[in-house]
Structure 1
Amino acid sequence: MKGEATQPKTQTQGSAIKNDKPLKQVKQQSPLKHQVEPEVVWPFFAPQPALVNQMRFWDRKNCKNVYPSKEDLRFQAIMLRVGKKKKSTKGYFFKLSKDGTLSYYKKESDKVAKGYLQITMDYVAHLLEQKTKKDSLLVVQIEKYQGLSISIFDGKTQLTLEFFNHLKDYCIVSGMDKLYTQMELLGKGSFASVYKVKNLSNEQMYAAKTYFKETFEQSQHRSKFVLMIKNEIMVLRKVIHPGIIRLYDVIQEKEKLILIMELVSDGDLYSLIKEKKRIPEKPAAVMLKGVCEALHEMHINEFVHRDLKLENIMMKSRDQYIIKLVDFGFAEPINHKELVSKAGTPGYIPPEIFKLFPYTDKGDVFSVGVIFYSLISGISCFKGKNYQAVLEDNRKCEISFQKSVWDNISSECKHLLKKMLARKPADRYTCADVLKNEWILMHTSHEYEQQADSELERRNSYQTMKKSHYSHYNSVDGSQPDFNNDFSYHTNDLKSFYHRNSQKTVKTQRSIQSIKSNNDKMKQSMRNKSAHAKQQQFTNFKSQTLKHKNKSAIHSNTGEGGGDQKSVRWVDKKNKSDEPSFGDKKENDSVKTTISLKIFEDFEAINQTNVAFLKMSPILFNLQKKPDSDAKINEAIKKKKQQATHLMRVK
């Protein structure tokens, strides 16, 4: 302790402090901001009494500069306002911008507001139920000072609730029973109790961290009690990140204060390490990455957590190792000049705090290093029989990696922990340095690479089968193109990617060959069927032609078709067959007709009747080839017969 008494040289307020005084006297003469807070009474989130010059609700100066754009608006609608003096109801057009400015206009087309108000945490929005003769209405009452408020509502309850839901993000609200239904108790601490509640509008489940008036009045440090709550609200309102617990509403009632938060019910890291004893490197790297990403967001916004421990890191999902930072009561803005508050949990306090150096973002990194030292090894970083012994071991900061459990842990992991647990802040990593570390990237990026590989393989298999089905049309020799080259740029290691997909590629090539052989068989089968159908058509047509010839011979012998006509059978000298000379006919093109086909050897020897028939035959053939109905064809044939008969009679 004597060695520590010589360190307060770095304090900016240490001009009145002598270096030879012990640390206890330094603590007495080093005023902390928590101790100068004024005494507060319940409810501590309530409007202050209005002064004489604060009797106006709306600010009417510089109204010309208050005209939010459409992109900056959160809510706009025509609503009713109850006047402060006349208590009359009148409609105005209200606008609520994203920075919390509430303005109202006489008409929607107006560009100059009649008045505006900057909503802050000093104001309270009450959701009240006003009874009417027929029904009841919900009314939003905005209280600026004690006894100074206005009421805004609409005939439609849904619009009033929408306005209230936007407004409550900037101020304190009341009306818990109209917003949530309280369910079972989730946990209880020394200052607050946590309940499970259900939102009445969307029926979603949330966690309600509840502070009771009785607990507040029994506390000996009321100012610190209130300051912790205000710190938590301030940080959670300003820092929004997936790795940080979300604060939705702050509800002040007569007997309790309620913080509506995101529900996380999968336990904390303390329960996880009690169950698992120690965590493997890969899931530990995933969790460490999540913690440092959330802390990095806090540090960018110039806040430090100051109370990081196993119990203050909750698990959103144990299967996927998704974490949430909770309990921001000791959080404060970063102060690089002086130590604002000397507080923390023994075993997690950075060593520079014992020397009264400022608490910076690297102090949080030290606490995270202690947490993951315990997760990976299963043993505590600092030990002791009681809090005082742990605190003393924490002050010495002698961290060992010599136990046998560290023999099975990679040197990259131990190197990262040593940099996070460095005694001097100048030698210690920041959250940004941790996120860029090779050990973190090796374990976390590999997970994302596997997810990307699975998605790429799914797309790849579809594209491969699609290409393989048409590969014999696109390539000369019918070979399958190399599909892995199209996706090789998505991976860091091309050889490992080919190795993982080698068996799959062989199977795909086999499936390509089977598809090609099946296609060849199918084509050959279709050719055989087509040839058989053509042969059948030709056979049917040949039999029909012979049938017509036989009928023609019978007609000629009995004197039909011309008086002294001599019918002669025509023989082709080249083919010497009875096959027709005008090609094949389709099955659906055959038309039943009673006209006999007559063919002659000598065209000059035929009479006028046969000449008229031959002129008419091509027309009849063309009509038979058209895909028309039988009725039309028969009608056309009948018409042509009549024309031919008339021509014969005339001649």
Structure 2
Amino acid sequence: MNDHQYQYWPIFQENDSTKAFWNKKFEQNIDCSIISQYCMNRITWKCSKPCEYQFLLNQNGILFYQHNNKPKGYVQLNHDISIKIIDLKISNNKSDLVKVIRIKRTKDIFIYIWNQDYKSTFQFFKNLSQFSFIQNLDQLYTLSDVIAKGGFSKVFSLTPNLRLPNQPLNYAGKIYNKEELLQKKDSQKFYNFIRSECYVLRKLNSPYILKLYEIIQLDEMLILVTEYIKGGSLYQYLKDKKKLTEIESIQILLKLTIALQAVHNIGYVHRDIKLENVLIDKDNLKLIDFGFTEKIQRDRLQNGQGTAGYIAPEVFMRQPYQEVGDVFSLGVIFYSMLCGRAPFRSNTYDGLLKLNKECQIDFSESRFLNVSQKSIYLMKAMLQKQPENRINIQDLLAQLQAQTLFSHSGNFISTQSIIDGSVGLSFNHLQSKNTLKSFYQQSQNSVSENSSQFSNHQLKQKKRRFKSQSMDKKGQFPKQSSFKPSLKYVYQMEIQQSYEDNISIGDQEYPIQDQNLQFLQFSYYQLNRQKFV
């Protein structure tokens, strides 16, 4: 093996360019959002005499120490700084052997810190581990069963040896082996993939992305310690159920779209979206395996890796892989869930690649029984061969949020229970919905009849406005109807989960009741559903 290959191992090592451990110039407020604070003893490579200071860690990974409540120095923790629990002899007495945290910036620049109470030391160590890499394993976890195997990694279940309060009972450990990595033809590429995977997982905080807790770098292996999901993959789930209902498919797709948007928002693409890379356990869903993740490139294709049958067609044409490349792979998942079979099928790998490249997809109605035209149109928009014609992640999310408002049975489903944050919805197409106008009028008349706040004059004005919104010969509302903004306001009221006292119609405002609001929204849903096939 060539010597130059070893520069790609270890993946993480102390290579900070500093000549001092602490930064003394405070250019920002480091006091904010403290997540951990302990009085600890300290020894440095310069001074072996223990001194006690207050050590603090904030949510941005800045570690600093202070004396008499005055900050003295700080360091920004990152993947180039290691932490390790070691036994340190601080005097000639055997009883003075203590467990300390060693924090290293370079081979020769480090500090030791500890508290007399080991639990406090360990808790501080766990907090530090969110931002640096660890050089311990046996002191922290016990490896047990193999959960899964990948191209050059294996996933084991991990049990913490010392469990802190509120700490999970089990973790998953994704292990990269040194020898397997260095045997790859392009070790540098996979070295970059692993570093990107760790960076992205550390950066992301999404309920639908597997959480990375710690990075452990040992001599022969790298271990990513993540949350443990009991259920299996979406691939196995779909295999067992044959195919999924439209409602369940849309809810899964919505969660995956939210996860993908979070990845894109930090400037990366996943590039390996597939059924096997989605873990599902009851209502718990997680996107996993960020091994092919890379920064978004606008001008060129950086890497052509992917899984046959899921690859965006532009990759075969050597075009840049951008956000819509992930949308295509997501479309393959959506197709598979609704149809019960993949859009590209072949008995050979080369045959599968050929079909994937040609991208001739069968959207026959017989394949999608009991699936609305709206979902089929959305699926087609995701699986467009030309990337410029494909729906983008923002529009996809908006459409999915609209479709998850209601179930097929007509019961209201709040998107707040599925996603975090408010959603938006366009009502431009409602102007041609005649029946909805009568629903709307009926609900408003019901409200007005039960409200003592209206004068006879106001009621007459309201009726005149409805009468003035006459339909044309085709049975459509005029384009300038005041009907659209009123409904838009109704929708916004529900999403904010705080109903206002009234709703505007033209220049007037009228109270609206919760049941009427839901009635209007269900009416919108029913009228915008296409026929089942």
TM-score bracket relative to the smaller structure: 0.7 to 0.9
Q: Among residues 129, 133, 139, which one is paired with 1:178 in the alignment?
A: 139
With normalisation by structure 2, the TM-score equals 0.72
Cα distance between partner residues in 2 of 1:187 and 1:194: 5
Q: Would the aligned equivalents of 1:123 and 1:142 in 2 still touch at CA under 8 Å?
A: yes
Match of 1:350 in 2: 312
Q: Alignment partner of 1:225: what SS?
A: helix
Q: Alignment partner of 1:412: what SS?
A: helix
Higher percent of residues as helix = 1
Q: Would the aligned equivalents of 2:104 and 2:111 in 1 still touch at CA under 8 Å?
A: yes
Match of 1:40 in 2: 7
Cα distance between partner residues in 1 of 2:352 and 2:212: 33
2:74 matches 1:116: yes
2:195 matches 1:233: no
Q: Alignment partner of 1:426: what SS?
A: helix
Match of 2:505 in 1: none
Q: Amino acid of the residue matched to residue 85 of structure 1? A: K
Q: Among residues 509, 515, 518, which one is paired with 1:488 in the alignment?
A: 515
CA RMSD of aligned residues (A): 2.7
Cα distance between partner residues in 2 of 1:66 and 1:394: 51
Q: Among residues 93, 97, 117, which one is paired with 2:58 in the alignment?
A: 97
Q: Amino acid of the residue matched to residue 75 of structure 2? A: L
Q: Which has the higher contact order (CA 8 A, sep 6+)?
A: 2
Q: 1:354 to 1:495 in 2, by over 3 A?
A: closer
Q: Among residues 39, 42, 46, which one is paired with 1:85 in the alignment?
A: 46
Q: 1:153 to 1:373 in 2, by over 3 A?
A: same
Q: Would the aligned equivalents of 2:412 and 2:522 in 1 still touch at CA under 8 Å?
A: no
Q: 1:427 to 1:491 in 2, by over 3 A?
A: same
Where structure 2 has 5 or more consecutive residues not aligned to the other structure, the ranges are 418-511, 524-533
Q: Alignment partner of 2:7: what SS?
A: coil
With normalisation by structure 1, the TM-score equals 0.60
Cα distance between partner residues in 1 of 2:196 and 2:40: 35
Q: 1:203 to 1:494 in 2, by over 3 A?
A: closer
Match of 2:269 in 1: 304
Match of 2:184 in 1: 219
Cα distance between partner residues in 2 of 1:256 and 1:486: 62
Cα distance between partner residues in 1 of 2:29 and 2:237: 52
Q: 1:418 to 1:328 in 2, by over 3 A?
A: same
Q: Amino acid of the residue matched to residue 145 of structure 2? A: E
Q: Amino acid of the residue matched to residue 356 of structure 1? A: R
Match of 1:245 in 2: 210
| Number of positions where the alignment pairs a residue of Structure 1 with one of Structure 2 | 417
Q: Amino acid of the residue matched to residue 339 of structure 2? A: S
Cα distance between partner residues in 1 of 2:41 and 2:50: 6
Larger Rg: 1
Q: Would the aligned equivalents of 1:488 and 1:494 in 2 still touch at CA under 8 Å?
A: no
Q: What is the deviation of 1:190?
A: 3.4
Q: What is the deviation of 1:267?
A: 1.1
Q: What is the deviation of 1:289?
A: 0.8
Q: Among residues 302, 306, 322, which one is paired with 1:360 in the alignment?
A: 322
Cα distance between partner residues in 2 of 1:220 and 1:337: 26
Match of 1:289 in 2: 254
Q: Amino acid of the residue matched to residue 246 of structure 1? A: K
Q: Among residues 350, 356, 364, which one is paired with 1:388 in the alignment?
A: 350
Q: What is the deviation of 1:42?
A: 3.3
Q: 1:105 to 1:254 in 2, by over 3 A?
A: same
Higher percent of residues as strand = 2
Match of 1:507 in 2: none
Bigger drift between 191-200 and 282-291 goes to 191-200
Q: Amino acid of the residue matched to residue 184 of structure 1? A: D
Report the identity percentage. Answer: 32
Match of 2:85 in 1: 127
Q: Would the aligned equivalents of 2:270 and 2:292 in 1 still touch at CA under 8 Å?
A: yes
Q: What is the deviation of 1:98?
A: 2.3
Q: Would the aligned equivalents of 2:381 and 2:390 in 1 still touch at CA under 8 Å?
A: yes
Q: What is the deviation of 1:150?
A: 0.9
Q: Amino acid of the residue matched to residue 419 of structure 1? A: A
Matches within 5 A, 1:435-450: 435-437=397-399, 441-446=402-407, 450=412
2:25 matches 1:58: no
Match of 1:626 in 2: none
Q: What is the deviation of 1:47?
A: 1.6
Cα distance between partner residues in 1 of 2:315 and 2:522: 50
Q: Among residues 340, 346, 352, which one is paired with 1:378 in the alignment?
A: 340
Q: 1:240 to 1:305 in 2, by over 3 A?
A: same
Q: Alignment partner of 1:358: what SS?
A: coil
Q: Would the aligned equivalents of 1:285 and 1:444 in 2 still touch at CA under 8 Å?
A: no
Match of 1:620 in 2: none
Instruction: Give CA deviations for 1:391-432 in whole Å, capped at 9, x if unaligned.
Output: 111111111212622354321121111111112222211222
Q: What is the deviation of 1:361?
A: 0.8
Q: Alignment partner of 2:134: what SS?
A: strand
Match of 2:476 in 1: none
Cα distance between partner residues in 2 of 1:67 and 1:273: 50
Where structure 1 has 5 or more consecutive residues not aligned to the other structure, the ranges are 1-36, 456-484, 497-651
Matches within 5 A, 1:256-267: 256-267=221-232
Match of 2:439 in 1: none
Q: Alignment partner of 1:231: what SS?
A: helix
Cα distance between partner residues in 2 of 1:328 and 1:338: 21
Cα distance between partner residues in 2 of 1:56 and 1:290: 45
Match of 1:169 in 2: 130
2:220 matches 1:268: no
Instruction: Give CA deviations for 1:140-159 in whole Å, capped at 9, x if unaligned.
Output: 10111112211111111122
Q: 1:379 to 1:492 in 2, by over 3 A?
A: same
Match of 1:517 in 2: none
Q: Alignment partner of 2:306: what SS?
A: coil
2:98 matches 1:142: no
